[in-house]
Amino acid sequence: MSPPHGLCSACSALGSPSLPPLLAEVRACTICAEHLPAGPRPILQVASAARIVIIGQAPGRRVHESGIPWDDPSGVRLRAWLGLSEEQFYDPELVALIPMGFCYPGSAKSGDNPPRPECAPQWHDRLLAELPDDRFDIIIGMYAQKRYIADRGKTLTDTVANWRGHLPHRAVLPHPSPRNVRWFITNPWFEEEVVPAFQKRVQEVLR
């Protein structure tokens, strides 16, 4: 798969004059290189006009190899949840993709290692400051929720079940990984109630 619109691993920076040098810093980041089995390759997508901001976990091996954010089955499911075409999803003027860890953290016995803890404190505030104040933040998975959701529940299910309390400015989602299929099956309310509401909100933001 080739990156839509000529995207590279840190993607186009459009609009803000301070964003291109910031993205250059992120591209060159080696702050946790000694902990990365596959080496550093920061992967994100940011442009100053983006009003949909997806804060996920960290690239997997496939994404590390392609350099394209969410270029895996999780990305396919996420785009379906949000009602976004591939073209829309990979348009940096519409959607910013900012993971908790920018580089592939390596694999563990079950799945991948957690996102490296250095990334978010080092870069997130600076990147988010470049984006519109009226943006729609989509917070995916436990690690992003720990940083960005102050009133999260005791479990991920509790946090996601409070989805109405976060609209219209935020959406809280489980990770769309195939590893979570059992969760999707045992919580049918998510795709029956939550997904349509988030799709509606996404379309409102895109107008």
Model pLDDT for residues 121-140, shown as the tens digit of each residue: 999 999 999 999 999 999 99
Domain parsing of the chain, residue ranges: 7-206
Give the pTM: 0.91
Q: In what order do the strands lie in the sheet with 95-97?
A: 95-97, 52-55, 136-140, 170-173
The CATH number assigned to the domain with range 7-206 reads 3.40.470.10
pLDDT tens for residues 42-64? 999 999 999 999 999 999 999 99
Taking the C-alpha atoms of residue 21 and residue 18, their distance in angstroms, rounded to an integer, is: 6
